Amino acid sequence: MNAARARNVALEKLTELRSIILEHIIKASALSDHQAVSHWQKEIHSYQTRLHRYHKGKGVKPNYTKDLLWEYLWEDQVDELPLGFIEEYGLKDLKLDVEDIKAKLKTFIDGVMKSSGK
């Protein structure tokens, strides 16, 4: 697969997963005492691993940058945070710790960007 096609595929995967990634990070932050936190953290790690595979192709330059991931995962979605889970969990007056969410998202991005096997 040529570099341009590989990058397009990587961006398509990022676009496909970005809402569910942010939703899981928000859940892990907002509902840190919930019994499903462990499950959400495993899912977050799974998405991180999946995007990492698309980040580093064989012999091609990386497909993502930290700025690009931040733009797709936070900036493009911040006005429309995926908060549908609020009703699902019967929550009212949920106060989000935006700084905690951002910190978790930055940790996620760092994991995507990590070097394979190093």
Burial class (CB in 10 A: 0-12, 13-18, 19+), 47: buried
Residue 44 tokens read as 């977050």
Contact 47, 102 (CB under 8 A): no
Q: Quick one: pLDDT at residue 46?
A: 96
Residues near 113 by beta carbon (within 8 Å), at least 6 away in sequence? 52, 55, 62, 64, 66, 69
The model's pLDDT over 16-34, given as tens digits with 9 standing for 90+, comes to 999 999 989 998 998 888 8
Q: Quick one: pLDDT at residue 117?
A: 41
CA–CA dist 35, 50 (Å, integer): 25
Average pLDDT, the chain: 86
The model's pLDDT over 53-89, given as tens digits with 9 standing for 90+, comes to 888 766 668 899 999 999 999 998 888 777 777 767 6
Contact 89, 31 (CB under 8 A): yes
